Structure 1
């Protein structure tokens, strides 16, 4: 397994305080390897990234809510995720990985534990584990009646090869990491234009994350800022934000998570827009108290 950089264990407070109810829409966690072993062929393992460490980071950043996303290192064994949700409490929910190996009883346990989403990961490092179109459709048919949202990670792909699979689903769909952008193409990138078109449908969302690591311009990531601002302007009510802690598969310098909130302040200089991204939008999508499913 290649060596990847560890997260910054000394998060700093952001320059602008987070509003009450702020949400980090994607983190990953790892648990005790003796109780929750990872897959032998896992692409990455960060055993230091426990739920307790994640909560400590969130406290420093002023984050009160979050979504813990199943790490590919655990496959479809959600034991570590379920335990993390128990520890984190009701202000956190989970997003799992569901395929044909997940039976109805396991799906019910996941739902009872607070899992409310299913993620399809098309990362090239997964190799033979990539979901097939048939698997995507079967999973959607099983989880949509539960009220779950769907997430797409399409790193390195043309999104037009994947998004038609969910064109007719009657639920919310989140595109991870600002979409599989081609930063060298600028705002004329056809991948970017496609995501903008999806956002016009009303049930598609985009997550502002990984702008720092996808940037080709480097710090201060002005190319990422241009995309993010365009998303915020185009669909202000369907934009989310996430740290993607502990920054899996990161081979370069790992950002301090306080810097990532500062980057959001550049994405959305207006305080009202940041409040929507950090509080109102995730309330509505994830059903946290004060919005969405609880209204």
Structure 2
């Protein structure tokens, strides 16, 4: 198992600070390993990145809300997220790993729901997590029963191979990482065009995240700006932002989160758009106002 690089330990505050009640719609927590051992056969293991470190980061950034996304490292064992939600308080929600929908009992799922977990993420197969068609249908049925959303992590090559999984779903759908388009292809990129078509449906949302890996040019990530702006123009009420801290499986030094927030300012240059993406949209999708 390769060694992956840890997060930047010295995040800087963005200038200016984001609006009040801003939300980091995707981050993860890892370890310590003595308390939260990785599952057998995990595709990767990350350096420790605790909820305390995440909350310090959010205070520095001016972030007041967040969504803790279960990493594939822990599979269906959600104790690390449950403990993190208890520590973080009512301004935080969770997203489960979809594996728990296959074998989790009704009581277990009700416990996750009561703790603030309101969705389930289907991870890319490159991380060693996959389902048969029958298993996927069962998982979606349980999501529908719970009133959750379905979250999809694109493959490194984009979303085209996964498109049949979610293009016909009638439940709330969140697409991670901008659908992993290839900026070098511009408007000819199939993943970009597929996401734009999906955004015409009222139940599909897109997360602006993974800027540093979507980009082919590197910082300051100029090649990603037109992609993000195309999504915002298409559906400004269904776009959210996530840091993806601590940037799992990074083989290059992860970016400073202050830079990522300021990159969002380039995507959404008006105060009104910024408030939608950081405050209003996540409040509606994740249920912060309920």
TM-score range, shorter chain: over 0.9
2:216 and 2:34 map into 1 onto residues whose CA distance is 40
Q: Where does residue 189 of structure 1 map in the other structure?
A: 189
CA change 1:288–1:260 in 2 (3 A) is same
Q: Matched residue pairs, number?
A: 288
Please report how far the alpha carbon of residue 34 of structure 1 lies from its aligned counterpart in structure 2 after TM superposition: 2.7
Please report how far the alpha carbon of residue 164 of structure 1 lies from its aligned counterpart in structure 2 after TM superposition: 2.6
Please report how far the alpha carbon of residue 132 of structure 1 lies from its aligned counterpart in structure 2 after TM superposition: 2.8
2:180 and 2:134 map into 1 onto residues whose CA distance is 22
Confirm or deny: 8 A CA contact 1:44 1:249 kept in the other structure: yes
Confirm or deny: 8 A CA contact 1:123 1:153 kept in the other structure: no
2:212 and 2:160 map into 1 onto residues whose CA distance is 24
Q: Greater shift after overlay, 30-39 or 45-54? A: 30-39
TM-score (norm 2): 0.95
Q: Greater shift after overlay, 195-204 or 168-177? A: 168-177
1:275 and 1:231 map into 2 onto residues whose CA distance is 16
Q: Counterparts of 1:64-143 in structure 2 under 5 Å?
A: 64-99=64-99, 100-124=102-126, 126-127=127-128, 129-143=129-143
1:220 and 1:157 map into 2 onto residues whose CA distance is 22
2:17 and 2:174 map into 1 onto residues whose CA distance is 26
Please report how far the alpha carbon of residue 167 of structure 1 lies from its aligned counterpart in structure 2 after TM superposition: 3.6
For each residue in 1:30-50, what CA deviation from the matched residue of structure 2 results, as whole angstroms up to 9, or x when unmatched? 233233211243233234200
Confirm or deny: 8 A CA contact 2:175 2:206 kept in the other structure: yes
For each residue in 1:51-74, what CA deviation from the matched residue of structure 2 results, as whole angstroms up to 9, or x when unmatched? 000000000000000000001100
**Structure 2: gaps of 5 or more residues:** none
Confirm or deny: 8 A CA contact 2:180 2:214 kept in the other structure: no
Q: Where does residue 268 of structure 1 map in the other structure?
A: 268
Please report how far the alpha carbon of residue 123 of structure 1 lies from its aligned counterpart in structure 2 after TM superposition: 4.3
Q: Where does residue 282 of structure 2 map in the other structure?
A: 282
Please report how far the alpha carbon of residue 158 of structure 1 lies from its aligned counterpart in structure 2 after TM superposition: 5.0
Q: Where does residue 229 of structure 2 map in the other structure?
A: 229
**Structure 1: gaps of 5 or more residues:** none
Q: Where does residue 37 of structure 2 map in the other structure?
A: 37
Please report how far the alpha carbon of residue 191 of structure 1 lies from its aligned counterpart in structure 2 after TM superposition: 1.1
